[in-house]
Amino acid sequence: MAQAAEIRKRGKSKEPQVNQPELMGAYRTMLLIRRFEEKAGQLYGMGLIGGFCHLYIGQEAVVTGMQMAAGEGDQVITSYRDHGHMLAAGMDARGVMAELTGRSGGLSKGKGGSMHMFSKERHFFGGHGIVGAQVSLGNGLAFSNAYRGNDRVSFTYFGEGASNQGQVYESFNIAMLLKLPTVFIIENNRYGMGTAVERASASHDLSKNGVPWGIPGLQVDGMDVLAVREAAETAVAHCRAGKGPYLLEVQTYRYRGHSMSDPARYRTREEVQAMRSQHDCIESARHRLEAVGVEESAFKAIDDEVKSIVQEAADFAQTSPEPDPSELWTDILVEG
């Protein structure tokens, strides 16, 4: 548990300013992601969701804090653990859940599944199942911003496991050469599937992985949504100013297994329990809000709203019909 204490210390170096409406918004987003993921786990258990299903429970503060620093038109791209990113990007919970159940009302019409969803409208570019691939692709989103001369920024998320991939370093190099506005976000949840970060990465401070290319980096307490927001603002301002990429190592923790079928025997129950009880991002946001006088009724209203969104999504995901067989042959090529 030395590690947990360390994260906590870094994040608590100075208490961030609490902007009540903003923090309430973040609390709501994090709660929505958690309840959504719990429901997804439940539907998986009922056999309604198939294949791989990677839950984001525990890591909610990362994408929520990052999105607090995002502007309209900034792009988001991530790995296969993508449900939280989509909800934080404002995508419809019903469409995400119906994609998980493989129904026609899903965001990809049931043809993508948990790992492959996209939204042009919300500037969300997937959902990628090949570890590390989204890092090069995210650089491409940043490239398109630079090419078009706008000031948009690409939020490119990957895990600490992916951070060892060769193309990540190819991307660091190109991003710095071309001064691309890419925020590289390493979501370090400490385990690449079942392999602890110490066993997979010779680098001990992943925020310094961009140093050879001159990419500035920060280590962030990913269990604290305000700490993430603060770091995100630094990174985004750097990118928007045309100074090139920025690297954040956001230290977080996933409470569930790598995917639904992971018994998670590589860590102790006590370790998981300690993170949940002492560092939970939703609980800590709630305590902060209580400290500035937010009343029980306000939390209750959010809880109820979130519960109904998730229930509606679950209902929709079960009643939306399966895709028509003719969908097999659509969307292979753009016609014309």
Return the residues of window 26-45 that contact another protein according to CB under 8 A: 38-39, 41-42, 44-45
Half-sphere exposure of residue 201, counting CA atoms within 13 Å on the CB side? 23
> Is residue 316 part of the contact set for another protein (CB under 8 A)?
no
**Residue 295 CB partners (closer than 8 Å, separation 6+):** none
Half-sphere exposure of residue 238, counting CA atoms within 13 Å on the CB side? 22
Which of 125, 155, 191, 253 is close enough to bind another protein by CB under 8 A?
Answer: 125
> Is residue 110 part of the contact set for another protein (CB under 8 A)?
yes
Shortest Cβ distance from residue 255 to another protein (Å)?
A: 7
* DSSP-assigned letters across all residues of 264-305: -TTS-HHHHHHHHHHH-HHHHHHHHHHHTT--HHHHHHHHHH
**Residue 106 CB partners (closer than 8 Å, separation 6+):** 95, 96, 98, 99, 100, 112, 117, 317, 320
- H or E segment and range at residue 31: helix 20-45
Shortest Cβ distance from residue 130 to another protein (Å)?
A: 5
How large is the angle between the packed helices 2-11 and 269-279, nearest 10 degrees?
A: 20
Shortest Cβ distance from residue 16 to another protein (Å)?
A: 27
Site for another protein in 133-192 (CB under 8 A): 133, 135-141, 143-144, 147, 166-167, 169-171, 173-174, 177-178
Shortest Cβ distance from residue 175 to another protein (Å)?
A: 9
> Is residue 203 part of the contact set for another protein (CB under 8 A)?
no
Segment lying near another protein (by CB under 8 A), choices 59-67, 215-223, 282-290, 317-325: 317-325
Residue 108 or residue 188: which is nearer to another protein going by CB? 108
Which residues make beta-bridge pairs with 157?
Answer: 185
Shortest Cβ distance from residue 315 to another protein (Å)?
A: 8
> Is residue 116 part of the contact set for another protein (CB under 8 A)?
yes
> Is residue 117 part of the contact set for another protein (CB under 8 A)?
yes
> Is residue 329 part of the contact set for another protein (CB under 8 A)?
yes
> Is residue 71 part of the contact set for another protein (CB under 8 A)?
no
* Sign, CA torsion 222/224/226/227: negative
**120 φ/ψ angles, rounded to the nearest 5 degrees:** -60, -45
Q: DSSP letter at 323?
A: P
> Is residue 118 part of the contact set for another protein (CB under 8 A)?
yes
Count of residues of this chain found to bind another protein when the rule CB under 8 A is applied: 79
Query: Hey, what's the torsion of the CAs at 188, 192, 193, 194, to 10 degrees?
Result: -110
Residue 11 or residue 58: which is nearer to another protein going by CB? 58
Which residues make beta-bridge pairs with 75?
Answer: 154
Shortest Cβ distance from residue 217 to another protein (Å)?
A: 19
Shortest Cβ distance from residue 20 to another protein (Å)?
A: 26
Site for another protein in 234-273 (CB under 8 A): 255, 260-261, 263-265, 269
Shortest Cβ distance from residue 174 to another protein (Å)?
A: 6
Decide: 322 and 102 in contact? Cβ < 8 Å. Answer: yes
> Is residue 278 part of the contact set for another protein (CB under 8 A)?
no
